[in-house]
Amino acid sequence: MFRSRNAFLVPLLGLSLAVAGCDAGPEQSEEANPAGHGAPTASTAKANQQVLEQRPFENRDDFENARRGLIAQHPELVVEHLEGGDVWNMPDYDFIDGDGENAPASVNPSLWRQAALNNIHGLFEVTEGLYQIRGYDLANMSIIESDTGWILVDPLTARETASEAFLFAREHLGEKPVRAIVFTHSHIDHFGGVQGVLQHLSDDEKANLRIIAPAGFEEEATSENIIAGPAMTRRAMFMYGKQLGRDERGHVGTGLGKGPAFGTFGFATPTDSISETGTERTVDGVPMVFQIVSGSEAPSEFTFYLPEQKAFCGAELVSRNMHNLYTPRGAKVRDARIWNGFIDEARTLFSEADVYFGSHHWPLWGQENIQDFLIKQRDTYKFIHDQTVRMMNRGATPRELAEDLQLPPALNEDFHNQGYYGTVSHNAKAVYQYYMGWFTANPSRLNPLPESESAKRYVRMMGGAEKILDQAQQEFDAASDMNATEGRNTYRWLAELLDHVVFANPDNGDAKALLADVYDQLGYQAESGPWRDFYLTGAYELRHGAPEEGIKPAIMREILRHTPVSLFFDSMAVRVKADAAEGKTRTIKVTFTDLQESYLLTLQNSVLHHRLTGEDTPADATLILTRPMFVDILVGEAGLKELLFSDDIRFEGSKLDLIGFFSMLDKPDGRFNIVTP
């Protein structure tokens, strides 16, 4: 008979990991944790202790570099959302000690160290005429002094955090006009806060402002989350631990930074597009040399060099952690071969650089240090690529690759190569996916049953849920006394096993409770910030359920207003409910009065097509409106009432056909289950 999980709770361990070893001390009780995350087991403590013996924790160079040049720091950095609540709260992370030496047993000490480094925030002088604001968002905002003002690089994710950072810089550096803004790449944490800067500029500044971005930036920046946006957004809640508490059993950071600011996102159209490596620009007296690295970390990206300061901005081509070849939130897989080639090119092009600064983390000084950093970052991605392909060509499967591939000692000694964000495990799988896709060629994987159906059969064949849970609980208890490797592998197996029980019967509270306990231990041991957040969010949702509401599409309104109209219709096409559209044909014309463009939408065979058309093209119904109003309809800010009665919308033809058409479109809310069926 399966017994209550409380009957099996391991004794409180009283362990706190430090660089010197494990020191006894009081450990939080499970009841003391607001989210219900359990205490770390003895084998988890052993696993984390083992990490202390594998990394050169005595090396304090990163802490010296992260603190170097500090000008000012806001001790109580809290940024409020425009609509209420907090967008950013650095004091939430005060539980992490400043030197990163006192990791509790519930956090991998290597990730704890990285989290402590990412806690170091404020305004810093990188070198003469070059500054950075760090710790105000997931990314950094850099400031370059020009002849008559400032050039800003990567104005953060959200309007609120960018505004706070910009005003803090003005307070301590003096008020200067902004002459240019540089977007290094097309991910939202590097441009989404631009309106937070623009709101503080004079009309003259805005009229003469240069906005410099890599070729393809506008299309990539506005399109990345359009087609698969709801799925990516839901998964991002797992990857960044949005629901987790900020404490030693919850979210400690993403590895790449603390986390993204879920505030108000904005956009600004570039005035200057850089398309070729070697392009030179002089921006308000500042010479800049650009390198196109599109297709590495982002589909549209450049790095640049400041010859006068001998400073290389690596954007996100390199960072102080291993990056993702595949990001767990979901995105197109990245090409490791191209990525390492761009790093080698940068190393050669900008070999005289005395300073490196990036879109994340802290700078590096000295040519020799920078060259060593670039070489090891380059070789890490190339090693993962080449060895994965070698093993793949010998028949290795993604799981085998993830288990067997390890970096050689020469690449595994430096903290900047560790898997705080990406990991060797899922990056090896990404290389396999890039070349081979999802199928391993094993026929049993060709047409498997859906998870819930196969889970029911597994559970039935193994003797039922009660028998499985009784055995699983015994293994969970026994894992506490195992060595680190055996304990971790037991938790990994139990996660796979118990997932079958939960998917076979999602109402089985005992199964969900035990699986949550297992996820806690895997999260506590994870060196990767996203892995930790995935495991712990999985545990949280098993205990508390999926979120009551997803991230509202309206936060993307400003970006959508700059999105090519054709992408709107691509987005609508993937929302057609096939059953509702079966047997129906419709032609809907949408005319945008502000763009002076008309599009014909044709629904047939449960498929929606669109094309540019003339104003005279006949249709069952015509919708005449502005693009901003159309965006409001798409993000749910304007509903049926607005559609029928707004003065900003006109109709021709059948209103019933138009309303019927919109009723055939799905409205994903971004709240679907992940850890339960």
The pLDDT tens digits for 28-76 are 444 568 999 999 999 999 999 999 999 999 999 999 999 999 999 998 9
Residue 655 located in a structural domain? yes
Name the percent of the chain lying above pLDDT 70.
Answer: 94
Closest CA to 578 of 616, 606, 542: 606
Positive or negative: CA dihedral 60, 63, 65, 69: negative
Measured distance CA(26)–CA(450) in Å, rounded: 45
Closest CA to 292 of 418, 185, 210: 185
pLDDT, tens digit, 9 for 90 and up, residues 594-651: 999 999 999 999 999 999 999 889 999 999 999 988 888 777 776 666 666 677 788 8
pLDDT of residue 556: 78
Residue where the block lists tokens 């109709």? 651
Residue 634 located in a structural domain? yes
Q: Domain total for the chain?
A: 1
- DSSP at 5: G
Residue 571 located in a structural domain? yes
Q: What are phi and psi of 392, to 5 degrees?
A: -60, -40
Measured distance CA(86)–CA(463) in Å, rounded: 49
Contact 268, 181 (CB under 8 A): yes
Quick check: pTM over 0.85? Answer: yes
Per-residue burial over 119-156, b if 16 or more Cβ lie within 10 Å, else e, is: bbbbbbebbeebbbbbbbbbbbbbbbbbeebbbbbbbb
Residue 635 located in a structural domain? yes
pLDDT of residue 639: 66
Predicted confidence band at 551 (pLDDT cuts at 50, 70, 90)? low
Predicted confidence band at 667 (pLDDT cuts at 50, 70, 90)? confident
Residue 1 located in a structural domain? no
Closest CA to 66 of 19, 122, 110: 122
**pLDDT surpasses 70 at 249:** yes
Residue where the block lists tokens 């669109």? 610
* Parallel/antiparallel/unpaired status of strands 178-182 and 210-214: parallel
Q: What is the mean pLDDT of the chain?
A: 92
- DSSP at 104: B
Residue 620 located in a structural domain? yes
pLDDT, tens digit, 9 for 90 and up, residues 495-529: 999 999 999 999 999 999 999 999 999 999 999 99
Q: How many angstroms from the chain centroid is the CA of residue 509?
A: 31
Residue 261 located in a structural domain? no
**pLDDT surpasses 70 at 201:** yes
Domain with residue 602: its CATH number is 3.30.1050.10
Where in the sequence is the domain holding 582, given as residue range(s)?
A: 564-663
Contact 39, 29 (CB under 8 A): yes
216 HSE (CA, 13 A, CB side)? 16
Closest CA to 72 of 169, 140, 148: 169
Could you give the residue ranges of the DSSP H alpha helices within 409-481?
A: 424-436, 451-461, 465-479
Residue 98 located in a structural domain? no
Contact 317, 523 (CB under 8 A): no
Contact 619, 599 (CB under 8 A): no
